A and B are shown apart, each in its own frame.
Chain A
Amino acid sequence: MSAPLLRVRNLTKHFPVKGGLLRRTVAQVKAVDGVSFDIARGQTLGLVGESGCGKSTLGRAILRLHEPTAGEVHLEDTDVIAAGRSELKRLRRNMQIIFQDPYASLSPRRTVFETLREPLDVHGIGTKTERRKKVEELLEVVGLRRAVLHRYPHEFSGGQRQRVGIARALALNPKFIVADEAVSALDVSVQSQVLNLIDDLQSEFGISFLFISHDLAVVQHISHQVGVMYLGQLVETAGAADLYADPKHPYTQALMSAIPVPDPASGSERIVLSGDVPSPMNPPSGCPFHTRCPAAMPQCASIEPKMQNLGSEDKPHWVSCHLYGDPATD
Chain B
Amino acid sequence: MPLLEVDNLQVEFSTERGVARAIDGVSFNVNEGETLGIVGESGCGKSVTSLSVMGLIPRPPGRIVGGEIRFAGQDLTQLSDKAYRKLRGRDMSMIFQEPMTALNPVFTIGNQISDVLRRHKGLSRKQARTRGIEMLAEVGIPAPDKRIDEYPHQLSGGMRQRVMIAMALSCDPKLLIADEPTTALDVTIQAQVLELIKNLAADHGTAVILITHDLGVVAETCDRAAVMYCGRIIEQGPVDALFEQPRHPYTAGLLASVPRIRPDRLPRLPTIPGIVPDLLDLPDGCRFRDRCGQALERCGQFDPDLSAEGDARTEAACFNPNPVTQT
Give A contacts to B, CB under 8 Å.
50-51, 157-160, 187-193, 195-196, 199, 214-218, 220-221, 240-241, 244-245, 254-266, 270, 272-274, 276-277
Contact = CB atoms under 8 A, between A and B. Distances in A.
Interface stretch (B11-19, B97-105, B260-268): B260-268
Closest 7 CB pairs of A and B: A260-B216, A192-B257, A50-B186, A187-B41, A262-B215, A258-B191, A192-B269
B240 A256 contact: no
B137 to A, nearest CB: 15
A258 B220 contact: no
Contacts of A273: 188, 191-192
Contacts, number: 128
B42 interface: yes
Contact of A193 (B195, B218, B271): B271
B265 A188 contact: no
Nearest to B291: A189
A214 B218 CA distance: 19
B181 to A, nearest CB: 13
Given A50-B187, A189-B257, A199 B268 contact: yes
Contact of B217 (A241, A260, A265, A266): A260
B269 to A, nearest CB: 4
B157 to A, nearest CB: 8
B253 interface: yes
Given A240-B265, A270-B191, A262 B255 contact: yes
Contacts of B254: 188-189
Contacts of B221: 260
Nearest to A49: B186
B301 to A, nearest CB: 25
Nearest to A217: B259
A189 B192 contact: no
Contact of B263 (A216, A245, A262, A270): A245
A261 B188 contact: no
B258 interface: yes
Contact of A272 (B192, B244, B257): B192
B235 to A, nearest CB: 14
Given A240-B265, A261-B260, A272 B271 contact: no
A265 B238 CA distance: 12
B108 interface: no
Given A191-B257, A217-B259, A196 B192 contact: no
B219 to A, nearest CB: 5
A264 B239 contact: yes
A260 B214 contact: yes
Given A218-B259, A260-B191, 11 more contacts: A50-B187, A188-B254, A195-B269, A240-B265, A241-B265, A258-B188, A260-B216, A261-B219, A262-B243, A264-B239, A265-B243
B194 interface: yes
Given A187-B213, A276-B158, A254 B188 contact: yes
13 contacts: A157-B275, A189-B272, A192-B258, A193-B271, A195-B269, A220-B261, A259-B187, A260-B216, A260-B219, A262-B255, A272-B195, A274-B192, A276-B189
Could you say which interface size class chain B belongs to? 35 or more
B190 interface: yes
A241 B261 CA distance: 10
A215 B270 CA distance: 18
B253 A259 contact: no
A221 B219 contact: no
A262 B216 contact: yes
B271 A276 contact: no
A191 B272 CA distance: 10
A283 to B, nearest CB: 15
B159 interface: yes
A50 B257 contact: no
Nearest to B40: A187
B134 to A, nearest CB: 21
B156 interface: yes
Contacts of B217: 260
Nearest to A271: B191
A101 B262 CA distance: 28
B39 to A, nearest CB: 10
B240 A264 contact: yes
A270 B191 CA distance: 8
Contact of A262 (B191, B219, B265, B266): B219
Contacts of B240: 264-265
B63 to A, nearest CB: 26
A287 to B, nearest CB: 16
B254 to A, nearest CB: 6
